[in-house]
Amino acid sequence: MKNSIKPSKPRSLRLTFLVGFLMLSLSDSQSLVTVFADEGMFLFNDLPVKTLKERHDFEIDQAWADHLRLSSVRFNSGGSGSFISSDGLVLTNHHVAADTLHKLSSKDRDLIKNGYLAKSLEEELKAPDLELNQLVSIEDVTDRVNAGVKPDADAEMAVKQRRAAMTTIEQESKEQTGLRSDVITLFGGAKYHLYRYQKYTDVRLVWAPETAAAFFGGDADNFEYPRYNMDATIMRVYGEDGKPAKLEHFLAWSDAPLEEGELVFVSGHPGRTQRIYTTAALQFLRDQRMPYTLDFLRRKEILMQQFSLGGAEEKRRARDELFGIQNSRKAYSGMLNGLQDPRTMAEKRGRESRLLAALAKSGDDEKMSQAWEEIAQVQIEKSKLLRQTASIRSELFDIAHRLVILADENLKPNDERLREYTDASRESFMQSLMSEAPIYRDLEQMKLADELSRFTELRGGDDKLIAELLVGKGPRQRAAELIAETKVDDLEFRKRLAEGGKTVVLASTDPMIRLARILEPEYRRLRELNERLEERERQAYAKITAAITAIEGTGGYPDATFSLRLAFGTVKSYEQDGETILPATTFAGAYDHTAKHAGQEDFDLPSSWMDAKEKVDLSTQLNFVCTADIIGGNSGSPVVNRKGELVGLIFDGNIQSLTSDYLYTDQQARAVSVSGVGIKEALRSIYSASELADQIGR
């Protein structure tokens, strides 16, 4: 299951360089770099018109693309979705919606485990803090951003000047249009685009299947294929009048199953790729960053498993977070295995050498070598910062931390603030900060104790900052004390501190606020150091991109940035271990799969499926694979056919696709989807939701 992408927690640092090969023209058969047939996460304002015509005899129409763009949505919880009816229905994955399902659940109502179906508008459940973003327009603001950075500025000043320029652009746009406005960094810093979004903050749950159906096969089947999952959920967006939103753009629904070789398109928000990285940066990723991250994930997985053993309620409380940790652990393991394969790095070095040779002929080799050397030097400095931290992964601490930072940032001019604290970002920030979602103190206490222990391990028990944090107590005792006395889970308390500003925050005796105040200077120090390194990389990658573009011309696509992209591919079988893996599965296969694994809990279909077996058309397509270029964040993306009709819902990639962060290949790598016809069949035959099924596509 592809990682959901949470914007506030980037999946990896920006670290190395495959040398801008993705910038090359995909239609140039003489290119120095191999570009695979269906590679590409294309911008909606720079579509692969020529490529689609030459390879698939498809003439992409601007109206077709605009309709697909306006029918697509981004989930601020991490993931993608699409509008599927004129009255606000939204389709996404169950695992993308799981954050909301968890927050809407309680001891007496476990929506993740048991699913949900609203039989009327009145029964639709409002998400406590979910925001959906519809991309309304795109504007190239590269010149404005670059003009804000003085030519002689060092990295420290350049960070501040670039941030100020981007903040000014975003605020002007917000004031002029009323739309959420984000400046997106593309091509490693060679381009900057302003994305304007229509926000929907009244989002309600309509239908979700049981986890046993959505994650059928559990961890064993995760990132594998064949699959038999109903990883789908339907929500609805409401307007300011409290009624279902009336939408002009939504996807029609195809009632035809897909066939081998059929061309399909994916419109979604891939989270983060590293295909522009240099070899030096990939080495840092392989040898330091990923092993460090995996150690962290394994630690947290064991922690959450231990908490889950406390009882049924403890298991429910930990389930969503544990699932995310396990999913990330398996994804990172696959990515690291790919980077540890000597053939991967040899291929990267070969591509880099060929490009350097071409640049040498143009006379730009000295400039390029300096850019590569700069990126390599940044990796050395990043390695020194890798185990320095000022973050504590606890929801209660995170709230306190944001309140403390907010109080300081509000005193600054808008263009000098950290970007998430600017006026343009304020509405989304406050919606998250003032979420009414439940917080479980027993779970928070366990997490905080482990974080204080981990913090001590990283910095050493005699570190002065550790002494301030622990005040002479052990991590477990200190965590218990902090959780028992804090009030930051009280919504009114949060509001008072947010509205009261610096004076009220400084006067607060709340222990969690005090903890956040202690860590604030170190947090700012490390953030500034990392931002300077990112700025040095940004400038180096921009130089490399510009030089390669001068040789190869424009074309290609930038690395993923959790912004809307268009990918395409074909429904296609593949070979694995001498066996042909067919592209589609059926409901019959799901029932066979559960029978074959009798006695294994993860392979037990829910009772709703078993009870409805005689009513289900077992030949109906359930899941399928295609060659579209996707990554984490694409979860929930609609898959459409040539007519723009929805035919599927991305929910995963197979194990061979896990190298897609830094290298695309269509030999075996496949994107995995729930079939559109399968979703309707389940609604009608299993969940007795024919009325809901009838609304889809209308």
Q: What is the pLDDT of residues 201-254, one digit of tens each?
A: 999 999 999 999 999 999 899 999 999 999 999 999 999 999 999 999 999 999
User: Using an 8 Å Cβ cutoff, are 253 and 616 in contact?
Assistant: no
Return the H-helix or E-strand segment holding 377. Answer: helix 365-385
| Ramachandran angles phi, psi of 71, nearest 5° | -95, -5
Dihedral, CA of residue 654, residue 679, residue 635 and residue 253, to nearest 10: 120
pLDDT at 144 over 80: yes
| pLDDT attached to residue 364 | 61
- Could you give the percent of the chain with pLDDT greater than 70? 93
pLDDT single digits (tens) 664-676: 888 899 999 999 9
Q: What is the pairing mode between strands 132-140 and 191-200?
A: antiparallel
Dmax (CA) for the chain in angstroms is: 73
Q: 264-284 pLDDT, tens per residue?
A: 999 999 999 988 899 999 999
Q: Give the pLDDT mean for 445-467.
A: 95
Which two structure tokens, joined as six digits, stand for 639? 């898959």
Task: Output the CA torsion 215→220→222→226 (10° steps).
Answer: -90
- Boundaries of every domain in the chain: 277-381, 395-531
The answer to whether the CB of 193 falls within 8 A of the CB of 139 is yes
Q: What is residue 2's predicted lDDT score, i.e. its pLDDT?
A: 54
Helix H or strand E encompassing 348: helix 342-362
Element (H, E) at 475: helix 475-485
The SS3 assignment for 677 reads helix
- Where helices occur in 553-585 by DSSP H, the ranges are none
From residue 519, alpha-carbon distances to 397, 455, 488, 495, 524 in Å are 11, 12, 17, 22, 9
User: Would you tell me how many other CB atoms lie within 10 Å of the CB of residue 306?
Assistant: 13
Query: Which pLDDT score is estimated for 662?
Result: 86
Q: How many Å separate Cα 592 from the centre of its chain? A: 33
| Burial label, 494 (beta-carbon count in 10 A; 0-12, 13-18, 19+) | buried
Look at residue 18 and tell me whether its pLDDT is greater than 60: no
Contact present, 445 and 392 (Cβ < 8 Å):
no
Q: Are 624 and 648 in contact (CB under 8 A)?
A: yes
Tokens 């040899």 -> residue: 346
- b or e along 409-425 (b: 16 or more beta carbons within 10 Å of the residue's beta carbon)? beeeebbebbebbbebb
Q: Report whether pLDDT(122) > 80.
A: yes
DSSP 574-588: EEETTEEE-SEEEHH
Select from 236, 246, 245 the least CA-distant residue to 126: 236
DSSP for residue 181: E
The CA distance from 564 to 560, in Å, is 9
